[in-house]
Structure 1
Amino acid sequence: MKKNQTIDRRKFLQSLSTGTLGLAAIPVFSAEKSPPNPDIYASGEPGKAVGSTHAGWQIGIGKSVITPTNGVWLAGYGRKRVAYGKIHDIWVKVIALKDAVGQRVVMVTTDHMGMSKTVYERLFQAANRAFGLERSEFMLTFSHNHCGPCLEDDLVDYYPSDQRQRARVAEYTSWMEKRVMEAVAEALSNWQDCELLFGEGTCTFAVNRRDNKEAEVPEMLAKGLPLKGAVDHYVPVLAAKVPGGHYLAVLFGYACHPTTLDFSTWCGDYPGFAQIDLEKKYPGTAALFFNACGGDQNPLPRRKVELCQKYGEMLSTAVDEVLRTRMQSISPVLSLAFSYVDLAYEALVDLEKLKPIASGTRPLQARWANRMIKKIEAGEKFSDRYPFPVQAWKMGKELLFIGMGGEAVVDYSLRFKQEFPQRTWVCGYANYMAAYIPSRRVWEEGGYEGGPHLDEYGHPAWRWSGDIEDRIAGAVAKTVKQTQDTG
């Protein structure tokens, strides 16, 4: 593709064939093929509209299949899972938005379980070099789907990987990153005028897994008994619409783990089914999903494909109902901010505590402990702080979108909705997979999300310090204030 050449989206859509379950399919590039021409990443002068003098919003859309073909294992559940076929493809989908003065943002959504800091940094640096995007303008999100592939440097001790499998993970990750950049390039070279609208629906299959026993949930639901614990059943919906015409893209969220399935088949879990269903209902519309603060939420009951498809249809129905109601318009003004906050560990590891674990009977912890021991013996000094990413996009005076790294529990979303005057949405799986992010309440209660489980994420510690919520909330407040000061 020649420099500054733009993509005609109508011709692009017409060139697609119908894929599994009706989702548009783009040919998957072979991992053995040469990298694409770097000129594909050129998009003209950063921040300037291409071929339009429209004074409102503009949107660009890109998408690509990222289903593995090289034998990489599925991510999640801490065991070897070799993929046998697929229910449907997994995707990277990108929307780029531009306001009336040319300020841009790019959101990348994927059907992956988690992105490491390594992958985030490589993708951001590539986007910065190619398109001039700053950190505040670029947000990488992942659905936390457990039927997607392992990625480089994410949960490195979690799986019993050998050298061959690690090579396949690296190979797939490199291939995937090229697909992501191609989708970003497509979005940034294909601007269309649009109206930007938002609304909220509800969907009720998410269950607080800390306060409800999975085995008891089906009977409780059958008897109409109330479930326990905090939940966030809101379904945020952001829609880009041709002025007076059809929908170009629909971004929607939900706070729940995509862990309906635990078998060895490629699939997008319930978010994948929801996107497929919406793209069937609205042909020519790109449907994109982000996971809200679902760190302590599970789809229950689960473990069946029929349930997974049911939850996807429930979620797409909730989105559809919002699209068919009167949504609120967003004024075309973007104000952005990004920051890091240092999260403290409760205590760092040491050799005395690591050596019994390294020779113990728990394989995951033994792998982690042996890796930590090698680092210590090589002279590495661990930091007692971890840089945690916080991001805020203010859209007009109407909507505030917050991005947080890691698996935030639902308390964060509920808190921030109360603290800020605009309608506020929180993406709890943004930029990279830090670990579980407990609130103070969850930290005090302990358990899987709040207790000493940072070893599973490769940290040189077992637990966050008890002030984690205060640190994050303070950083979010400062980051949001920056958008207010400049907006």
Structure 2
Amino acid sequence: MKFVAFACLCLSAATAVFGLEMKAGTAKAVITPQDNMPRVLVTGKKHTAVDHDLFARALVLNDGAARMAIVTYDLNCLDVATPILRVRCRDELKIPPERLILLATHNHEAPIQIVPDNFAYGRWLADRIFDLVKQAVENEQGPVRLFFGSGEGDFVIRMGAEVIDKEIQVLKVARSDAPIAVLFNHPAHPIQATEDHIGVGHCGYALDDIEARLPGCLPLYADACGGNQFAVMPFGRGIPRVQRLGKALADAALSILNGPMQDVTGPIHSEMGIIALPLAPPMPREEAERLAAVMGAPLDIGLVPYPNRHRHTNWLRELLRRYREGLPFPEKTTDMVCTDDAFLVDRLPEDREFPCRYEETIVSTIGPLIFVAMQGEVCAPIGIRVKNEFRNDHPIMVFAYMGEHNLYIPTRTLVEANIYQGQVIQIQYACPVRWAPEVEQEMGDAVIQMIRTAITP
């Protein structure tokens, strides 16, 4: 297993630990496209109506020496905006990338930013979210205390795994004993009401419900490791069905919030790393040529972006190009970089301070709490393993869908059975080779090692 360090550990000053006073600030903003231009959604269809505005929400924590910003948004992920925000938040707000936690609800009823026609929207999102974080910093108040708890949301199903993760995790930020922010997660794909309307999925309706029931408190939701898990669809149709599931999620989160919770107030430390994950050897050239003929894959169109109907054969064109030109094949995910339109290539056409390389992971500690944010659609068995490794000795909160691009990080079973989550690296990301079956083990090993480093005095 190979691990590449990306940023040094951010240590709070010793004086901040003694007599620590934590402050927090929140902010919320509409991020629905403002230009009324039909946008391609995650479904591949252009939107025809807006059922519910999209929102971004920010929670900033400040221990007196280090400031962390947690941003959630009603989007599939945050592609074009992520590298822009990392530079601006570091340079203008003194929040470095390892303390800028960008987390998606993984909402499928929103514009997908890997479509070139949506790149301008992605750049607008960067400005909008930067202003949101800045506002949250300006809104900081204290002292606050942080509390962590967990429970279950028994409305999730799994695929391609023997284990299932139903855990809902909740982080409460309280001032004068009243909650001012609640961050929670659940490892499940959201359900949606339509395929061609902008909306928020059941997670967004859960946020509406909590906001109405807790005046003065900003709720934030982000997806956990649910790459192979899906929210159970209740009976009914359309928005009412989605709202019912949203209420069930809100009820479960509030039940945890109103139960016993552990005080986790303490200094902030954070580290970001890039984990080099293993890839398989390439398909033999003759086999690839036969497959291209059977699939009717055009070989002269290069790499085509979503929602082009030939996108799923990009990987074949890239594989055959490398054979023709005698180019090496990638062996690790870090051998490639991801473009804005989600192609895994050798290099970007322009220099970028923060290029997207898999697998970005942030490990933070807030007092005794271990806070993990992993890039992409990490499958549930990986999240379960990471949590179980530490939960007996430390509270631990685990998220996926961090930053840009939702590449699935699959399990051995999904790779060996060639199930969808194991195919996406090729059929969506144009990688000329498949995952190696060891990806699950090596991902878990690397994250666990990052955590051990973070909690070792």
Deviations 1:264-309 (A, max 9, x none): 1111101100011110001121110010011111123366322211
Cα distance in structure 1, aligned partners of 2:427 and 2:438: 21
One-letter code of the match for 2:298? S
SS in 2 for 1:344: coil
Q: Match for residue 8 of structure 2?
A: none
Alpha-carbon distance in 2 for matches of 1:242, 1:301:
36
Q: Is residue 2:120 matched to residue 1:171?
A: yes
Distance 2:173 2:448 in 1: 28
1:397-412 equivalent positions in 2, closer than 5 A: 397=368, 399-412=369-382
1:93, 1:380 → 2: CA distance?
44
1:121-157 superposed Cα distances (whole Å, 9 cap, x missing partner) = 2221121111222232111111111101111xx3x5x
Residue 466 and residue 59 in structure 1: after superposition, are their counterparts in 2 closer, same or farther (change >3 A)?
same
Counterpart position of 2:68: 105
The answer on 1:201 being equivalent to 2:151 is: yes
Instruction: Report the aligned-residue RMSD.
Output: 2.9
SS in 1 for 2:154: coil
The one of 181, 188, 196 aligned to 1:256: 188
Partner SS for 1:305: helix
TM-score by length of 1: 0.75
Does the CA-based 8 Å contact 1:60-1:97 persist in structure 2?
A: yes
Partner of 1:31: none
Deviation sequence 1:358-390 (CA, Å, 0-9, x none): 329963324565577779889986643223112
Q: What CA distance in whole angstroms lies between the structure 2 residues aligned with 1:424 and 1:293?
A: 13
Aligned residues: 400
Structure 2 residue aligned with 1:319, among 232, 253, 277? 253
Return 183-192 or 68-77, whichever deviates more: 68-77
1:258 Cα deviation (Å)? 1.2
2:170 maps to 1:237: yes
Q: Does the aligned pair in 2 maintain the 1:72–1:149 contact within 8 Å? A: no
Aligned-residue offset at 1:422: 0.9
Q: Which residue of 1 aligns with 2:208?
A: 276
Query: Structure 2 CA distance, aligned partners of 1:114 and 1:478?
Result: 26
Pick closer, same or farther for the CA change 1:109–1:54 going to 2, 3 Å: farther
Q: Are the aligned partners of 2:59 and 2:69 in contact in 1 as well (CA < 8 Å)?
A: yes
Task: Provide the C-alpha distance between the structure 1 equivalents of 2:194 and 2:94, rounded to a whole number of angstroms.
Answer: 40
Partners of 1:239 and 1:409 lie apart in 2 by 26
Q: Distance in 1 between matches of 2:102 and 2:67?
A: 15
> How far apart, CA to CA, are the structure 2 residues paired with 1:371 and 1:441?
26
Unaligned stretches of 5+ residues in structure 2: 1-11, 300-307, 334-357
**Which structure's relative contact order is higher, taking Cα pairs within 8 Å and 6+ residues apart?**
2
Name the SS for the 2:277 alignment partner: strand
Distance 1:324 1:314 in 2: 15
Q: How many Å separate the matches in 1 of 2:174 and 2:159?
A: 37
Counterparts in 2 of 1:369 and 1:442: CA distance versus 1, 3 Å: closer
| Cα 1:378/1:443, change in 2 over 3 Å | closer
What SS does structure 1 have at the residue aligned with 2:111?
Answer: coil
Which amino acid in the other structure matches residue 222 of structure 2? F
Alignment of 1:149-188 (within 5 A): 149-151=111-113, 154=114, 166=116, 168-188=117-137
Say if 2:76 is the partner of 1:76: no
- Give SS of 2:359's match: strand
1:30-54 deviation per Cα after TM superposition (whole angstroms, max 9, x unaligned): xxxxxxxxxxxxxxxxx99xxxx98
Shift of 1:248: 0.8
Q: Percent identity?
A: 23
Q: 1:373 to 1:401 in 2, by over 3 A?
A: same
Please give the alpha-carbon distance, in whole angstroms, between the structure 2 residues aligned to 1:150 and 1:482.
36
Aligned to 2:149, what secondary structure does the other structure show? strand
Does the alignment pair 1:286 with 2:218? yes
Tell me, yes or no, if the aligned pair for 1:291 and 1:427 is still in contact at 8 Å: yes
1:67-101 Cα deviation digits (max 9, x unpaired)? 11342434323x3x1212222111111111122x4
Q: Which runs of 5+ in 1 are unaligned?
A: 1-46, 157-165, 212-228
> What's 2:50 paired with?
86
Q: What are the equivalent positions in structure 2 for 1:58-73 lying under 5 Å apart?
A: 58-70=23-35, 71-73=37-39
1:39 equivalent in structure 2 = none
Name the amino acid aligned to 2:150: E
C-alpha separation between the residues in 2 aligned to 1:394 and 1:453?
32
Structure 2 Cα separation of the partners of residues 140 and 405 of structure 1? 10
Q: Would you say 1:418 and 2:384 are equivalent positions?
A: no
Q: What is the Cα deviation at residue 407 of structure 1?
A: 0.7
**Deviations 1:214-234 (Å, cap 9, x if unpaired)?**
xxxxxxxxxxxxxxx432111
